[in-house]
A and B are shown apart, each in its own frame.
Chain A
Amino acid sequence: MKNNIFENSKRVFLDCVDAKDYVQLDRVSTIYQSLKDSVKKPLKMVLLYGKPGTGKSMFLNKLYHDLSTSQKVIIYQTPILDENEFFKSLAQDLFDVKYQGELNFTQFMNILKKHIRDGEEVPLVLLDEAQLYPSVQMEKIRLLSDTRSVKFVITLHKTQKEDLIAKEHFKTRIWETIELENALNNELKIYIQKKLMKANCFDTANMFNQRSVNYIYKITKGNYRDTNKLLYTLFEIYSWYLQNSPSSIKTNEMSKKIIEMSAIHTGLIDA
């Protein structure tokens, strides 16, 4: 049923970070491969940065998904802002140490010295949304990475403030920085169609011609998160029309009107 197609297509664009939903694009794959290579290098820290919605969290999740089977890797998708809780979580996740009471930086370093042995692979800690950590805590993360006992991959939003953080805390320590950018026009079409085809939504994938993708690109500027939001609403509207007024929609191509309605609903267009 058409209704199911639109409903399925809608679910494809749910805004969630799942490594299974990762779409391989040529440029993104190259960047991801360079990230994987960087992780293997004996460096203290890798900084992954970019504007919101450029796929940093997805990258980190994909990395975690790919490396978790081969090495010790933990991911904190939401920042643990309390310093005590942060070190306690690290102690438990890295060394299965359940510490009773408060655990400060010095105490955590003692635990680290006890559990790290020479020649062992350094555990990898992936910190998402690192710009939310307090600067004092970030300073301690930096010191921790200096010991080379724990390797960090952190993601930052690329804003003026976050650039400052990067400069102050990681300037001398970060071995590699990787910037993620919005999709290009042709990449966006591949992204949409690959995502839909992964979920066997071939009919809806074929509805996206270059003209409609161009218009979506104009609205979202290639931002993956905005595109997901827009297309989720788009298929929701299509689904509604199919149920309530099927004659008012065409299923062979994307309606510009419905794209605009979706953009209005998601706030991408100021109506």
Chain B
Amino acid sequence: MLNVHDLERRHKVYKLKVLLPYIVIFVSLVVILIVILFVNNSDMFKSNEVKHNQEIIQKHIEQTKHIVLEEVVEKNETLQAIPNKQELKEVKVDETIVLVPSLNFIANIKHSSTSSDVNYERVINKKDQTKEITKTEAKQKIALKPAKKEPEPVIIEEIELQRDNPLKIHRQNTDDDINHVIKRFSKNNNPALSLFIAKKYYEMQDYHQSYNYALITNRINDNIDSSWIIFAKSLVKLNRKQEAVETLKRYIEHSKSSQAKTLLEEIERGKFK
């Protein structure tokens, strides 16, 4: 006699047995997919974490760069005594202050270029600096302070004033500074930053880059004298004197800038090469 209920039960077991491999394969695939997704997500999370950490580190670096080093060099001291007389002051700037390059500082340099005892074009690296120190007899401390309108001093500078060799500007980590400012500029498109970069590149004699950033600055704001000056100077340095002259002429027509006029005269007379 057939026991159909028992047969039905056995049939269910059989169907389960038949479907089990498919279920196992399906579940395995799902698990594998989940694991793959999880692993990918964790990688992304890790990379985000790394980015976040890098940002934090950069912030810290920014903060530490807000250190103004003042070197005090007394006059008429012997060469051996010079290092002992150096005093370094570390000043930490409030974290909330946004770093903006001191355009006035650049302007100051510009103005000082006209005086006979300052040679701002001579930028000396550390090694050169130490050599210079051994040669100099007296140095005068100049601490450059931030511009009035832009209260956040960024630049770590050590400026030595020499009687025989008028002015020496020592910069630390110039490349890092520029890269950092470039990053900031790419975030907020502040023309002051691009102008700062252009000036820095000009100082570093990278005239292509200074031309580019001056051009960018002019596009953002075409009323900044310094930007047009750097733009024209870079063109001259790139052997595009005629373009520089034409650019300055057009700018003078537009702005009546005395600085631009002076530079135009210098270029035309061949004083500025």
Contact = CB atoms under 8 A, between A and B. Distances in A.
Interface of A: 233, 236-237, 240-241, 244, 257, 260-261, 264-265, 269, 271
B11 interface: yes
Contacts of B91: none
* List of 6 A-B pairs having minimum Cβ-Cβ separation, nearest first: A271-B14, A271-B10, A261-B7, A261-B11, A240-B4, A264-B10
Interface in B2-31: 2, 4, 7-8, 10-11, 13-15, 17
Contacts of A260: 11, 14-15
A191 B14 CA distance: 28
A230 to B, nearest CB: 13
A93 to B, nearest CB: 40
A257 B2 contact: no
A236 B14 contact: no
Contacts of A237: 2, 4, 7
B218 to A, nearest CB: 81
Given A261-B7, A261-B8, A269 B14 contact: yes
Contacts of A236: 2
Contacts of A269: 14
B2 A271 contact: no
B2 A240 contact: yes
A75 to B, nearest CB: 34
B12 to A, nearest CB: 9
Contacts of B4: 237, 240-241, 244, 261
A244 B7 CA distance: 15
B7 A257 contact: no
23 contacts: A236-B2, A237-B2, A237-B4, A237-B7, A240-B2, A240-B4, A241-B4, A244-B4, A257-B11, A260-B15, A261-B4, A261-B8, A261-B10, A264-B7, A264-B10, A264-B14, A265-B2, A265-B7, A269-B14, A271-B10, A271-B11, A271-B13, A271-B17
A264 B10 CA distance: 8
Contacts of B13: 271
B46 to A, nearest CB: 50
Interface in B53-71: none
- B13, B14, B17 — which one has the most chain A CB atoms within 10 A of its CB? B14
Contacts of B17: 271
A244 B3 CA distance: 12
Contacts of A257: 11
A22 to B, nearest CB: 28
A233 B2 contact: yes
B13 to A, nearest CB: 6
Contacts of B7: 237, 261, 264-265
B14 to A, nearest CB: 4
Nearest to B8: A261
A182 B8 CA distance: 30
B194 to A, nearest CB: 77
A241 B8 CA distance: 12
A265 B8 CA distance: 10
Contacts of B14: 260, 264, 269, 271
Contacts of B11: 257, 260-261, 264, 271
B212 to A, nearest CB: 76
Nearest to A269: B14
A260 B14 CA distance: 9
A240 B11 CA distance: 16
Given A237-B2, A260-B14, A271-B11, 20 more contacts: A236-B2, A237-B7, A240-B4, A241-B4, A244-B4, A260-B11, A260-B15, A261-B4, A261-B7, A261-B8, A261-B10, A264-B7, A264-B10, A264-B11, A265-B2, A265-B7, A269-B14, A271-B10, A271-B14, A271-B17
Nearest to B14: A271
A241 to B, nearest CB: 7
B256 to A, nearest CB: 97
Contacts of A271: 10-11, 13-14, 17
A265 B1 CA distance: 11
A265 B13 CA distance: 13
A266 B272 CA distance: 109
Nearest to A263: B14
A185 to B, nearest CB: 22
A271 B2 CA distance: 16
B100 to A, nearest CB: 80
